[in-house]
A and B are shown apart, each in its own frame.
Chain A
């Protein structure tokens, strides 16, 4: 694009319109834009990536929503928590003799009602939430940059957010109802309905489904245009860039609408009123990997000696955190690097869950907390679940579809790829599991064994693949969560580990980057490994496929931890030695 005549940041819709007009003027038939773009997305792609505009785009979160203006360009980072299906909308229509478009907006710029010339297009709706368990350091760096702006717009904070078109109604005071956000003032006036009633209804349904905007975690309804279905999957983490709308035009008119329309109107949307959940009309989406969450990613290539240095330092840190237990630290390092990289049938290859045993009631709080804190600083998404009989009996671990609201109710196990979860089993006491508890225990077991979570769709269950690093802390070997590696934990000291920010950043980068390295093995070493496995099995008949799998996964992770892409004999020997030490402990 030569010379951007419009402000992509402040008036993205203007940009959309002008490209549309340009496309129409050049003789294109609006019908040819069914399911494809006319150049608007390219414009934004140029602006964002080629001209480096991305960093200027504010990130939408619970803090920035106070000052971000509607109909401006924002980005949103979040996990796809639910998919709300497709929505048909009037994409292009003729206003008089001029073609207009409604793409990337909910509110038509010109009235649509009477025109017969229109094209129906479709868009996908995704319900996104902030990634569960996201640590504060992984929040966007831009937040700081805009903090000053926020204080500058302090006076706006308490004001209801309204659409630009409805600004004249801003003085309509609804604050005595105790609700933030103005529900549909304009329409209410027009229809002369009881404000009170509408508002209470609006909020009651909003309360169920949509977390309050001010509560810290901000969900967002993303509308995606012209994209392949396979691009976006449930539980994946994305960055969406698009037009932000926070529609105060919305009203809920219970009285007028007859039963017929009620039954059809997207009941999903009824529970996600636009004055509670912001909408984002997405131009560009980008899948985020862990390293995208690093505040400032060192762009340097993984140099062998640098990687080695970082590895040594991190290992020292983990050893300190783990009370000077070197073997545990080594396993922990491998565990933190693990990820599912392929699936063969039901087998998830590459996972390495770790079970630290011998943690007593006394030592668990000490090391558990310390470990939890350390991991929080290292990984972007971490969670800690304390398993008790009570928890198992009451928690809803698996997501469940609620057909009343047509929403997927999230569960504790709906997690983004690469999340880390600590299961603290040390407080588990003898007790009776009810049916929920049994089901939950089964879910946990499937998750750790197959890396799958069964989502409950009431009439059937659906397996969703997961990729979650699981660390189990327990007194004896855990039976609810049979981990790949069971290691008795032998701490010898309690030391508080002091770390510098630079070191932390290096470690984060290390863990994020090395995980995704490609990996292979040459045929010679393959022979060596095969021979080793056969020999081991001849010696000990109890060795099974799982043990072999574990060894191979460890081998891969070990060489990966040195930043290498192919397994060397030396690292294989290290793995065998590590395994030997572990077995000794188990005796």
Chain B
């Protein structure tokens, strides 16, 4: 094809750096209305900006589709075609007939477009030189600081890097017209970008010879893979997805060198043209001129890395009843191996089409990558950045929530009923249980973890235990939370062993090394570990939880490994009462059979009791009838969808770190004292401990979580009040002393309530009195039943069981006051 290179000066010359036919950009055709002009087009190779080598490698030399691509049009290309384009979406040139009679100072246009090469170039130079970040504006005056990208270029030179990252939003902010052109005609505009860089580099550092590519990222709009359609071809697009497969690295030849087999003459490097290298048929050495003697010298050719990667939609973008779409990515040079299968990435690139061999009419499409960015893998962003080392990347701070979304969330947070609305949105199909849901909401948001300089750590995670009758949708709640949680493991107590939950040491079968394998709790670090059937867990497994739930670490000491692993996880457990149904006459501990030490580590313990209440029964019946005979959508209204909810929680956890206000702290103290005082009834000798220091920690966590729900940076008084209420609602159900009706933390911590303890003590003393009365020292023994009769006569009213008496006598026996003889008789000693 055309090879006449007209000496082009800078103003009208740089039509395209890649119009040398080595690049696919150069060999794609636009569609002039009159086909006869096509052949007469010629390209200009600006001599002073000879196409840099690295530049060619950016766009694969392949046979791209001949449609849709516009190429730079040389200024003196004879009667240039009218850009009355056949592409409906190409805006007709504003300067119609730009090609006709062009004289030297007419602007050069990119083929079929209204892009003036010069204008774009000027715009780019202006952008690179003058763009400043907001922060730069604020700190120093405009004249003192250099533009953001000038700095960036200098950095690139220092690092001897080969690419310059350009934030597309910066381009948009500075010059929206340039942005529009760049997205619409990426090949052309990027080529100009590269030329501009080529020019600027020698000015900054004349010794720098490498070529720098522009890598655009962070487009304003991101396309969904599903919506890519023919009109996107040859445009810049930005997509999110997950890598499912990477090809091996393919060396791609860029320049070839041939040697003559006859005379040993080495040819000059031959560039790739149209995806092919034409082997010289004749030796170029004048003396030789042997035919068909040239052979490729592999180790003197130049190759670049290339990789083809398949990207697949992430599950959240797949509509119901669909399968994920995939798209191929073409990566070059530095981008090769930047992502591994399983990584979620956001990619910016040019969507292109290519003919396939399967059929002449089909096209296969791929994205020529300019930039990729890894995004976080977790569903909800769990990091509160306490211990995450930020050594990874300095300049590319991860922008995980785009501004619009954040605005939306903030708007949402401002609503006065956001707390109730979130509560409603949590497992909307599980009916009632509002207070439990509020507790779970607090768990999702979590409190602030605190690490004192002394090394003491206070967990911010809230642990919740649900105890309840079968069929009270505990498991469904658990499943729901598991689905929503940032990271988390769902496990059933029945099948979990201690090591399965925490960590275990294993021998690697191949190397023989001992390795640590993480268990469920370690794996759900910074997430929620949901444990179903907590009561059916083996004791040894349960005892492992002690450390996890307060210290938030798992310590391992075996087989030569002593390690402490982080397990900063919230535990959400649910258990069935010991005798399948909750027995209200027994204490919680008796009902769930959990050691009190473990139980006290739960911030909230909810009892989901199936009360025989006609009112709730009716509501249940109504709910189910409605479910079956009405439009189910009408049953649940005004709820947030799960995606919004997740985003909301994620944002709050990441960005909101509320602090206690003085007022709230006061209220907390007051409330706590009140709670403790409640145990002391006036005129009663009974001592009931109602709250422990653990509770005050729980309260702080809960209030912090409640403030987070409102996106508030400070914990207000009403948060504390609500936290008290939640604790009380939970406690009232679980820590009610069923004989007195007061809250009794002793019930949780020792399993015996204060009133029970008092009753036992009085029984012991009255038993002692009776024995003193009736029995002689060393005298005949007395049967327990007789003793019971005596006691019953004395203490009128109040039921007395043989078992209670036996416990009392055992206490006495341990004092050495009496002794059991023949099992059922007592003897005073």
**CB within 8 Å of B: which residues of A?**
29, 31-32, 34-35, 82-83, 85-90, 102, 105-108, 111-113, 116-122, 229-230, 233-236, 249-250, 253, 256-261, 263-266, 269, 342-347, 349-350, 403-404, 406, 408, 457-460, 462, 464-465, 519-521, 526, 529-530, 533-534, 537-538, 541-542, 544-546, 548-549, 552-553, 556
Contacts and interface: CB of A to CB of B under 8 A. Distances in A.
19 contacts: A32-B88, A83-B323, A88-B363, A111-B360, A116-B35, A119-B67, A229-B319, A229-B322, A261-B357, A265-B357, A350-B628, A403-B244, A406-B310, A465-B320, A530-B621, A537-B620, A537-B621, A545-B620, A549-B627
Nearest to B327: A85
Contact of B635 (A29, A113, A344, A526): A344
5 smallest beta-carbon distances between A and B, as pairs? A233-B321, A345-B429, A544-B471, A263-B308, A344-B632
A522 B363 CA distance: 57
Contacts of A530: 618, 621-622, 625
A465 B321 CA distance: 8
B132 interface: no
Given A86-B325, A108-B360, A459-B242, A116 B610 contact: no
A344 B470 CA distance: 22
Nearest to B427: A345
A118 B363 CA distance: 12
Contacts of A34: 88, 230-231
A112 B360 CA distance: 7
A521 B629 contact: yes
Contacts of A265: 356-358, 364
Interface in B323-358: 323-326, 328, 330, 341-342, 353-354, 356-358
Nearest to B581: A541
A537 B617 contact: yes
Nearest to B87: A31
Contact of B29 (A116, A250, A545): A116
B322 A266 contact: no
Given A344-B429, A530-B621, A544-B471, A460 B321 contact: no
Contacts of A32: 88
Contact of B38 (A87, A116, A119, A457): A116
Contact of A541 (B35, B275, B612, B636): B612
A88 B66 CA distance: 14
Nearest to A458: B244
Contacts of B610: 541
A465 B319 CA distance: 12
A263 B328 contact: yes
A118 B252 contact: no
B758 interface: no
A350 B470 CA distance: 23
Nearest to B245: A403
Contacts of B357: 253, 256-257, 261, 265
Contact of A260 (B30, B60, B231, B363): B60
Contact of B326 (A85, A107, A346): A85
A459 B313 CA distance: 11
Nearest to B632: A344
Contacts of B366: 264
Given A235-B321, A347-B429, A534-B617, 7 more contacts: A88-B365, A256-B357, A464-B321, A533-B617, A533-B620, A534-B621, A549-B624
A553 B226 contact: no
Contacts of B245: 403-404
B358 A250 contact: yes
B362 A87 contact: yes
Given A34-B88, A556-B628, A88 B621 contact: no
Interface in B282-312: 306, 308, 310, 312
Contacts of B624: 533, 545, 548-549, 552
B76 interface: no
Contacts of A259: 250
Contacts of B325: 85-86
Contacts of A257: 357
Interface in B7-26: none
A266 B620 CA distance: 53
Interface in B738-772: none
A264 B318 contact: no
Given A90-B361, A260-B60, A526 B632 contact: no
A195 B29 CA distance: 36
Best-buried of A35, A85, A235 by chain B (most CB within 10 Å): A85
